[in-house]
């Protein structure tokens, strides 16, 4: 675990000595703490393909909220891997959304630069908007994230043999980096090279190699080593293609927090040697699938909690990961329980099930949580916050918690932060600003 001296430094940012109710009190700046990591830190945010619909969160939102200037990387979620082990585009519910990716025309008022799409341009959709955003923010990098919880079914097959690994990597480079987007249906969008310049790298989001993920996922014991080999194949082909076009392409991966899943699926040091950095899951440590309320993204363990962010980071460090390649994941949403009593301010209490959420029961965006009535509580031992709103208990990260996590990143020489997902922040980018200020 983190040594006592460093933990004391981080605790200096915490004003209360016990559980207290907090509302909007300022937090001391983390910049005064010693930093073991060289600036600048990476600041990664996931942009969801489906966020342009009910959430009305478009690429332009990254600009108008001020988030784009406070990030180093945007991960576009997600690209799918097919039964043949290759990357592909489609317009089919639950399979792919090429319409959102590169077919949808954005009007002038919806466009990052105020220029609307026209019918005969080969690239439109969010891909084109991301390309425009990069023109406005030249230091911003965009990666395509492959898989995710829903689309990791065939990763095991794709990673199984040298031939399957080579075919997967080649297909992903052709589709996303070379930009050879297919014509689908009656759309005129696409064509050879139409998407070139949108993406600067690839993020592997296999959930989970060697252990259970979504129902129906293919899982093999060999996944652990095959992920390492897959990353090596990606690195080799990315380097070769980069040499051809005079560019450097990044490779990252999203990795689990559960030590059992790490042991089952991650060869830590060998895998990290192929990656620019790895983002570590720092959320969903508990949730309403458990009958008792708890912290969903606590930095440190407390009585009754099984997981913590610190435990995950410590596991990777013990396995030989360079601290500077570990990027700490932060949620822009909360997990909620219903039917909770006010005993102990709702913490550690039985519930009747998930609290109602706007898009999914048991889950709510930060921007929605801050508007709910109720009192916000802070646990300085766990470094975690929650809101008791009537009989609903919501565990989520506040700017105060984020300040402590940024201090932890600095003190331990980690590579930076990652957030899931950007559409959960407020219209003014409150949480993104907290990270930006904390990692100066």
Which residues are marked as active site?
Answer: 207
Q: β-pairing, 91-92 with 363-365? A: unpaired
Rg (CA), the chain: 21
Residues 6+ apart with CB under 8 A from 56: none
Rounded-to-integer distance, Cα 282 and Cα 430, Å: 19
- For 164, the token pair is 């399957």
Q: Decide: helix, strand or coil at residue 251.
A: strand
Closest CA to 83 of 98, 68, 66, 96: 96
Residues belonging to the chain = 440
Nearest-5° angle of CA 4, CA 9, CA 12? 125
Residue 390 backbone dihedrals phi, psi, to 5 degrees: 65, -120
Rounded-to-integer distance, Cα 242 and Cα 200, Å: 10
Residue 207 backbone dihedrals phi, psi, to 5 degrees: -120, 95
Decide if 297 contacts 395 (C-beta within 8 A). Answer: yes
Residues 6+ apart with CB under 8 A from 75: 44, 45, 46, 47, 142, 143, 144, 145, 203, 252, 418
Decide if 265 contacts 156 (C-beta within 8 A). Answer: no
> In which region does residue 197 sit, left (phi positive, over 0), alpha (psi from -120 to 50) or beta (all else)?
left
* CA 24 and chain centroid, separation: 26
Task: Please state whether the peptide bond connecting residue 48 to the residue before it is cis, i.e. omega within 30 degrees of 0.
Answer: no
Max distance between CA atoms of the chain, in angstroms, equals: 64
């Amino acid at each position: 675990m983190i040594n006592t001296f460093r933990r004391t430094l981080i605790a200096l940012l915490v004003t209360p000595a016990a559980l207290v109710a907090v509302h909007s009190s300022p937090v001391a700046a983390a910049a005064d703490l010693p930093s073991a990591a060289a600036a600048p830190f990476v600041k990664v945010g996931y942009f969801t393909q489906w966020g342009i619909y009910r959430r009305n969160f478009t690429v332009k939102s990254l600009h108008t909220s001020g988030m784009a200037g406070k990030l180093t990387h945007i991960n576009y979620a997600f690209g799918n891997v097919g039964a043949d082990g290759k990357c592909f585009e489609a317009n089919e519910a639950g399979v792919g959304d090429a319409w959102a990716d590169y077919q949808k025309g954005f009007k002038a008022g919806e466009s990052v630069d105020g220029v609307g799409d026209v019918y005969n341009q080969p690239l439109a959709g969010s891909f084109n908007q991301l390309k425009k955003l990069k023109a406005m923010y030249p230091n911003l990098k965009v990666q395509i994230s492959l898989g995710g919880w829903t689309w990791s079914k065939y990763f095991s097959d794709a990673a199984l043999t040298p031939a399957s690994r080579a075919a997967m990597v080649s297909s992903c480079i052709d589709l996303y980096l070379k930009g050879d987007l297919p014509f689908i249906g009656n759309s005129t969008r696409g064509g050879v090279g139409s998407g070139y310049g949108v993406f600067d790298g690839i993020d592997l989001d296999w959930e989970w190699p060697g252990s259970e993920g979504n129902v129906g996922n293919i899982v093999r014991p060999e996944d652990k080593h095959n992920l390492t080999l897959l990353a090596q194949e990606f690195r080799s082909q990315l380097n070769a293609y980069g040499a051809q076009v005079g560019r450097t392409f990044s490779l990252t991966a999203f990795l689990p927090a559960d030590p059992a899943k790490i042991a089952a699926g991650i060869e830590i040091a060998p895998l990290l040697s192929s990656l620019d950095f790895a983002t570590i899951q720092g959320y969903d440590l508990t949730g309403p699938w458990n009958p008792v309320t708890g912290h969903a993204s606590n930095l440190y363990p407390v009585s009754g909690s099984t997981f913590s962010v610190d435990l995950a980071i410590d596991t990777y460090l013990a396995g030989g990961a360079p601290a500077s390649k570990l990027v700490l994941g932060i949620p822009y949403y909360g997990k909620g329980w219903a039917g909770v009593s006010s005993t102990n301010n709702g913490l550690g209490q039985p519930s009747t099930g998930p609290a109602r959420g706007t898009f999914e029961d048991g889950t709510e965006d930060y921007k929605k949580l801050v508007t709910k009535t109720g009192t916000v509580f802070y646990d300085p031992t766990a470094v975690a916050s929650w809101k008791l709103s009537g009989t609903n208990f919501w565990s989520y990260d506040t700017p105060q918690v984020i300040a402590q996590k940024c201090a932890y990143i600095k003190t331990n020489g980690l590579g930076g932060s990652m957030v899931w997902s950007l559409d959960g922040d407020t219209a003014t980018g409150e949480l993104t600003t907290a990270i930006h200020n904390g990692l100066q």
